[in-house]
Amino acid sequence: MPKVKVCGIKEKSDALLLSELPLWALGFILVEDSPRFIPPEKVKEIVCSLPSRIIKVGVFQNQSIEEVEKLRDFCGFDLIQLHGQESPAFCEKLGKGVIKTFSVGEDFNVTIVEEYLPVVDFLLFDSKKGGSGITFPWEKIKGITFPKPIIIGGGLKEENIWQCLSLLHPFVLDLNSGVEVYPGKKDGIKVKRILEKIGGK
C-alpha cells in the first residue's frame, strides 16, 4: 500500500500531532501567495522538533535557484517539491532530492515527463489548481509505468481514496485540502482514518 505525505503544514501543534502517525513526509509551502504559506523561520523551528523518520519537504513555485537552495539549507529540508514551470536544467542544478509536480488536465500530454526523468527523484501528479480540493482526471496516467516513484495529489480525501487506488498505484498519496478544517489547519482524525483505510503503511 502507498505511503502518505501531508502537505500544507502551518502549525507546530499539527506537525507534532501528525508526526505520531505512520506518515512518510510532511510538506511546508514556501510560496508567499499560497493560503498555506509558512515563514521559513517557523518551518525551521518545526523541522527541528520532528523525528528523523519523517521526511521534511519544502514546496516551491517559480522561485530562483538561489532562493530554493538557501531555504533548503536554512529549513533543513530532505526533499524539494517544485510546482511551477521549473525546467529540467533547474531540477538538475538542485541535485538529489527533487520532486517535480505535473499539473494534469484534460489536455495533459504525458510525454512532458520524459525530459525530467534523469534529473528528478519523484514525479508528483496534481490537479491544475493545487490545494483546491479538486481531483485531476486520473485516467490520464492510468496504466502508465514510470521509472521513478510517483506521488498522487489533488483533492484526495477519505471518500475518494479507494477510487484513486483502484486506478493508480502510487508510491505516495499526498494529502492536503481533504484533511483540513480550513486552509493550513490539519485534522488529525481525518488523516488517521485514511491511514487506517489504506492499511497504515
pLDDT tens-place values along the chain, 201 residues long: 899 999 999 999 999 999 999 999 999 999 999 999 999 999 999 999 999 999 999 999 999 999 999 999 999 999 999 999 999 999 999 999 999 999 999 999 999 999 999 999 999 999 977 556 789 999 999 999 999 999 999 999 999 999 999 999 999 999 999 999 999 999 999 999 999 999 844
State the pTM of this model.
0.95
What pLDDT is recorded for position 124? 98
Which residues make beta-bridge pairs with 81?
59, 99
Residue burial 83-114, b: 16+ Cβ < 10 Å; e: rest: beebeeebbeebeebbbbbbbbeeebeeeebe
d(CA 11, CA 185): 7
Residue holding cell 505512520?
A: 22
For residue 132, what are the CA distances in angstroms to 17, 58, 128, 160, 185? 24, 19, 9, 15, 14
What pLDDT is recorded for position 133? 72
d(CA 30, CA 32): 6
What pLDDT is recorded for position 201? 40
Spatial contact of 150 and 171, defined as CB atoms under 8 Å apart: yes
